[in-house]
């Protein structure tokens, strides 16, 4: 079971390290994308607010992703990487979406108590309320994964071919940084729409198309690119930390799973 247990353990460790390291940049990006504006959403104040939700949800989400990803990769050759990444992201979203929803509410709503935020969501919409924005999150993650993970695998193969050996964790981290930055920039419009949907607390919630149309009408294409620089920067740094930590953990934990 080393093909399942090891990625589960290492994915959890890498996800937690990366998300905690990049949390301030994620808060800034979320507040920039907030419909009420950066300053009203909190500006540069309390940029660690809501971190508890990440501590709870990050590790299991990343663990689910990498255990699914590695299990699916065993079924076929490299050509399946893109499909494996997409399916893995959908599975991980079961945990990621509630975590992301609570986190973004905490980042922008000036409420630091996660219990209060969870109670407010539950009282308004029940358990399904925690999956507000599920479909737009999936729509964001699928193109992101189609770019990031296959590109990461290809870059690692290129590096391994040049040096005629396996990639080191540091080289894997650099490949992850490049692929993550590119994927983040391309999928920023999906991320903007997701943020607007997740921060909408009204009882009549607009869907993806209505939210997209509203942003386009109000701000044009610039509105769909808000936060592209902090998102690309944080994902690039996060990719370096995440993939570097993952491959390092895989290397160090080999004896535990053999």
Render pLDDT for 164-194 as a digit per residue (tens, 0 to 9).
998 899 999 999 999 999 999 999 999 999 9
Nearest to 84, CA basis, from 142, 137, 9: 142
Architecture of domain 2-257: Alpha/alpha barrel (1.50)
Cα distance between residue 134 and residue 27, in whole Å? 20
Cα distance between residue 132 and residue 206, in whole Å? 11
Q: Whole-number mean pLDDT of the chain?
A: 88
Are the C-beta atoms of 208 and 197 separated by less than 8 Å? yes
- Provide, rounded to the nearest whole percent, the portion of the chain with pLDDT above 90: 49
How sure is the predictor about 81, in pLDDT bands with cuts at 50, 70 and 90?
low
Each residue's pLDDT tens digit, 216-256? 999 999 999 999 998 999 899 999 999 999 999 888 887 67
Give the pLDDT of residue 2: 60
- pTM beyond 0.85, yes or no: no
The set of residues, in sequence order, having a beta carbon less than 8 Å from that of 210 and lying 6+ positions away, is none
């Amino acid at each position: 079971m080393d093909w399942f247990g090891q990625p589960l353990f290492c994915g959890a460790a890498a996800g937690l390290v990366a998300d905690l390291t990049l949390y301030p940049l994620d808060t800034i990006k979320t507040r920039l994308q907030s419909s009420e504006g950066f300053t009203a959403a909190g500006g540069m104040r309390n940029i660690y607010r809501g971190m508890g939700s990440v501590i709870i949800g990050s590790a299991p989400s990343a663990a689910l992703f990498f255990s699914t990803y590695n299990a699916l990769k065993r079924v076929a050759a490299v050509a399946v990487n893109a499909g494996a990444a997409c399916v893995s992201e959908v599975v991980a979203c079961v945990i990621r979406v509630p975590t992301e929803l609570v986190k973004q509410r905490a980042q922008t709503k000036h409420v630091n108590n996660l219990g209060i935020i969870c109670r407010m969501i539950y009282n308004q919409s029940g358990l399904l309320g925690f999956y507000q924005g599920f479909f737009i999150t999936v729509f964001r993650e699928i193109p992101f994964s189609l770019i990031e993970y296959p590109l990461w695998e290809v870059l690692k193969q290129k590096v391994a071919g040049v040096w005629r050996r396996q990639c080191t964790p540091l080289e894997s981290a650099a490949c992850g940084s490049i692929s993550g930055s590119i994927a983040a920039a391309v999928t920023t419009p999906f991320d903007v729409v997701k943020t607007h949907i997740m921060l909408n607390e009204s009882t009549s919630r607009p869907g993806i198309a209505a939210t997209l149309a509203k942003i386009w009408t109000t701000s044009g294409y610039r509105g769909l690119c808000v936060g592209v620089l902090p998102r690309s920067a944080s994902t690039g740094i996060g990719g370096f930390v995440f993939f570097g930590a993952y491959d390092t953990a895989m290397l160090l934990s080999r004896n535990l799973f053999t």
